[in-house]
Structure 1
Amino acid sequence: MRSIVLTKGVPDFSEGAVSFDEDGHLERGKTPTVMNPNDAFALEAALQTRVRHGGHVSGMSMGPPGYAEVLEGAMESVYTDDSYLLSDRELAASDTWATAITVSSGIEKYREEVADVDLVFAGFKTADGETGQTGPQTCWALEWPIVTHVIALDIDPDERRLRAKRLVEGDVDEIETVETPLPCMVVTDPEFEPTYRKASHRLTHKELRAETQERAADHDEHLTTWDHADLNLDPDYIGLDGSPTIVSSVDPIPKAPSEREATMIDPDDGTAMEPVLEELQPFAGGD
Structure 2
Amino acid sequence: MRSIVLTKGVPDFSEGAVSFDEDGHLERGKTPTVMNPNDGFAVRAALQTKVRHGGHVSGMSMGPPGYADVLKEAMGSVYTDDSYLLSDRELAASDTWATAITLSAGLEKYQEEVGEIDLVFAGFKSADGETGQTGPQTAWAMDWPIVTHVLALDIDPDERTLRAKRLVEGDRDEIETVEAPLPCFVVTDPEFQPTYRKASHRLTHKRLRAETEERAADHDDHLTTWSQEDLNLDPDYIGLDGSPTIVSSVDPIPKAPSEREATMVDPDEETEMSEVLEEMQPYAAGAGD
The question of whether the paired residues in 1 share the 8 Å contact of 2:5 and 2:43 is answered with yes
Query: 1:235, CA displacement in angstroms?
Result: 1.1
Report whether the alignment pairs 1:71 with 2:96: no
Q: Give the residue type in structure 2 aligned to 1:196.
A: Y
Could you tell me which runs of 5 or more consecutive residues in structure 1 were left unpaired when the two chains were aligned.
278-287
The answer for the alignment partner of 2:135 in structure 1 is: 135
Q: Which residue of 2 aligns with 1:268?
A: 281
**What's the CA shift string for 1:137-159, capped at 9, x where partnerless?**
00000000000000100001110
TM-score by length of 1: 0.89
Secondary structure class of the residue paired with 1:151:
strand
2:16 equivalent to 1:18: yes
- Structure 1 residues 27 and 18: alpha-carbon distance in aligned structure 2, compared to 1, 3 A threshold: farther
- SS of the counterpart of 1:239? coil
Match of 1:157 in 2: 157
| Distance in 2 separating the partners of 1:133 and 1:203 | 36
Aligned partners of 2:156 and 2:284: how far apart in 1?
A: 70
Q: CA deviation at 1:18?
A: 2.1
The yes-or-no answer on 1:249 pairing with 2:249 is yes
In the aligned structure 2, how far is the partner of 1:243 from the partner of 1:48?
35
Report deviation, 1:254.
Answer: 1.8
In structure 2, C-alpha distance between the alignment counterparts of 1:20 and 1:115, rounded to whole Å: 38
Q: How does 1:225-236 map to 2 (within 5 A)?
A: 225-236=225-236
Structure 1 residue 57, shift from structure 2 partner: 0.3
Matched residue count = 272
Partner SS, residue 280 of structure 2: coil
Deviation at residue 75 of structure 1 after TM alignment? 0.6
User: What is the rounded CA distance, in whole Å, between the counterparts of 1:253 and 1:168 in structure 2?
Assistant: 32
CA distance in 2, matches of 1:135, 1:187: 7
- For residues 101-160 of structure 1, give each alpha carbon's deviation from its aligned partner in whole angstroms, at most 9, with x where no partner exists: 000000000001110000000000000101000000000000000000001000011100
Q: Is the 8 A contact 2:62 2:99 kept in 1?
A: yes
Q: Deviations over 1:237-287 (max 9, x none)?
A: 10000000012333331233378435988121369974x52xxxxxxxxxx
Match of 1:101 in 2: 101
Measured after TM superposition, the shift of residue 169 of structure 1 is: 1.3
Corresponding position of 1:6: 6
Letter in 1 for 2:241: D
Structure 2: gaps of 5 or more residues: 264-275
The share of aligned pairs that are identical, in percent, is 82
RMSD after superposition: 2.3
- Cα deviation for residue 225 of structure 1 reads 0.1
Task: Say which SS state the counterpart of residue 247 (structure 1) adopts.
Answer: coil
CA deviations on 1:46-83 (whole Å, 9 max, x unpaired) are 11011111100000000000000000011112201000
Query: Offset of 1:173 from its aligned partner?
Result: 1.2
- Answer whether contact 2:6 2:59 (CA < 8 A) is retained: yes
